Amino acid sequence: MDEQPLSYDVIVIGLGAMGSSAAYHLAQRGLRVLGIEQFTPAHTLGSSHGSTRIVRQAYYEKPDYVPLLKRSYELWDELSAAFGERLLVRCGALMMGPPDGPVVAGTLESARRWNLAHEVWDSARLHERFPQFEMPAEHVAVFEADAGYARAEASVLANIELAIEWGAELWFDTEVESVQLGPAGVHIGAADVEVTAPRVVIATGAWASRLANLDRYPIAVQRQTVHWWEPAAGPAALADYAPDRFPVYLWEWPSEPDQPPVELYGFPYLAGDSGVKAALYRDGQRTDPDVIDRVVTDADAQRLVPVLQRCLPGLAGRRVLGSACMYTGVPDDDFVLGVHPGSSGRVVLAVGFSGHGFKFMPVVGEIVADLVTEGETPLDIGFLSPERLAVQDAVG
């Protein structure tokens, strides 16, 4: 007699930020959860590493995200309490640029629509509060005091450890070879065994297209680099960029005609780091997740250097470290979150978050758990539905 496949209530494929959060929330609800990850826990080969991620509520990208962020903030605090470490550090955030540009105008639209606390500063007020920045008179800054940064790898590890505490079974260094719909549920081939569950969650980031017939989805993967800088005055000046003296920020600069604006972003100095993290948003090239160049050199920072010299001259010293990750998204830059339209309700997709998704990690885990257990969620995620991409292929 053939050996019966291992059976679970739900299988989560991919245990980065979103998958680990989903595994935790599902296990917390009492489900028998299997999580499968092709690499090690909190690895540096995908999109969930790099020490820090910006967390903010006055969302310039689209006001529709703000209710999700409000709930995410509550869950960040709950996750920190359950893990016993502060995972969200509220050091404030600056959104900067021309007053009619998408960053400033969009930030103010969200802040005003949802009555979020914020301040609008001119260059004199900015210099008074944060003299590290050199902002021209024609730009403005929107300061959100309740914003800050999440500790990336620590947050993923928190989800993993808590999921295990709640009874989840997690397999690492295990590649999933196949995902097939069957009469008894979804059948997964991994590690030379077959496992099955009524529901499956696919949260595989840059590898999403390979497991759920998503080849016709317009999902693109981009190589993104971030860099750590020693201040021009040397290591002694790192204290000027500590979280009690320096916020997270995103600064829009007009670019060449017919070109998208340049967006500089960065973080405070974290004790133990060799420098201060800063980078250009979406300043990368299309790549394949299996052949991405992970070696980061001075050439990767070529466009960043003159922007940093103009905006934060005191920080524009020596580049001391670089890291490569992957942004995975679709053309409208919204997430792909919901039931796969070709899966008869059995496959939940949580992909396409890169670039601005990490701050949503806790609420995405809760939403996925809602979709798996109830088939719906009280939060409005209609604008993120996979159905908007007009693909009706079946899985497997």
Can you tell me the distance from the alpha carbon of 365 to that of 326, in angstroms, rounded to the nearest whole number? 21
Does residue 129 lie within any of the structural domains? yes
Q: Are residues 287 and 239 in the same domain?
A: yes
Q: Are residues 141 and 246 in the same domain?
A: yes
Q: Are residues 232 and 277 in the same domain?
A: yes
Q: Are residues 116 and 232 in the same domain?
A: yes
User: According to DSSP H, which parts of 228-311 are helical?
Assistant: 304-311
Q: Are residues 172 and 203 in the same domain?
A: yes
Q: Are residues 338 and 278 in the same domain?
A: no
Residue 98: both structure tokens together? 């021309």
The last residue of a domain, from among 279, 309, 329: 329
- β-pair partners for 56: none
Can you tell me the distance from the alpha carbon of 225 to that of 299, in angstroms, rounded to the nearest whole number? 11
Nearest of 350, 348, 279, 291 to residue 315 by alpha carbon: 279
Q: Are residues 282 and 249 in the same domain?
A: yes
Q: Are residues 249 and 138 in the same domain?
A: yes
Sign of CA dihedral 269, 270, 272, 278: negative
Q: Domain of 122: which CATH number?
A: 3.30.9.10
Q: Domain of 164: which CATH number?
A: 3.50.50.60
The answer for residues whose C-beta is within 8 angstroms of residue 146's C-beta and 6 or more apart is 57, 73, 90, 92, 116, 117
What is residue 379's three-state secondary structure? Answer: coil
User: According to DSSP H, which parts of the chain are helical?
Assistant: 17-28, 66-83, 102-113, 123-129, 152-165, 304-311, 361-374
| Whole-number pLDDT of residue 267 | 98
| Whole-number pLDDT of residue 391 | 47
Site of tokens 């291992």:
6
Can you tell me the distance from the alpha carbon of 221 to that of 262, in angstroms, rounded to the nearest whole number? 19
Nearest of 6, 396, 384, 11 to residue 210 by alpha carbon: 396
Nearest of 211, 214, 191 to residue 201 by alpha carbon: 211
Site of tokens 């997430």:
335
- β-pair partners for 338: 349
Site of tokens 């993923």:
156
Spatial contact of 74 and 163, defined as CB atoms under 8 Å apart: no
Does residue 69 lie within any of the structural domains? no
Can you tell me the distance from the alpha carbon of 381 to that of 109, in angstroms, rounded to the nearest whole number? 20
Q: 44 lies in which domain range?
A: 6-48+153-218+332-389
pLDDT tens for the chain, 396 residues long, are 356 679 999 999 999 999 999 999 999 999 999 999 999 999 989 889 889 999 999 999 999 999 999 999 999 999 999 999 999 999 999 999 999 999 999 999 999 999 999 999 999 999 999 999 999 999 999 999 999 999 999 999 999 999 999 999 999 999 999 999 987 789 999 988 999 999 999 999 988 877 766 666 778 899 999 999 999 999 999 999 999 999 999 999 876 666 677 899 999 999 999 999 999 998 888 999 889 999 999 999 999 999 999 999 999 999 999 999 999 888 889 999 999 988 889 999 999 998 899 999 999 999 999 999 999 999 999 999 998 885 444 444
Does residue 231 lie within any of the structural domains? yes
| Whole-number pLDDT of residue 211 | 73
| Whole-number pLDDT of residue 256 | 62
Task: Fill in the amino acid letter for 336.
Answer: V
Residue 241: both structure tokens together? 């960029």
Q: Are residues 287 and 225 in the same domain?
A: yes
Q: Are residues 243 and 325 in the same domain?
A: yes
| Whole-number pLDDT of residue 396 | 47
Q: Are residues 212 and 224 in the same domain?
A: no
Number of domain units in the chain? 2
H or E stretch covering 186 = strand 185-190
Spatial contact of 265 and 348, defined as CB atoms under 8 Å apart: no
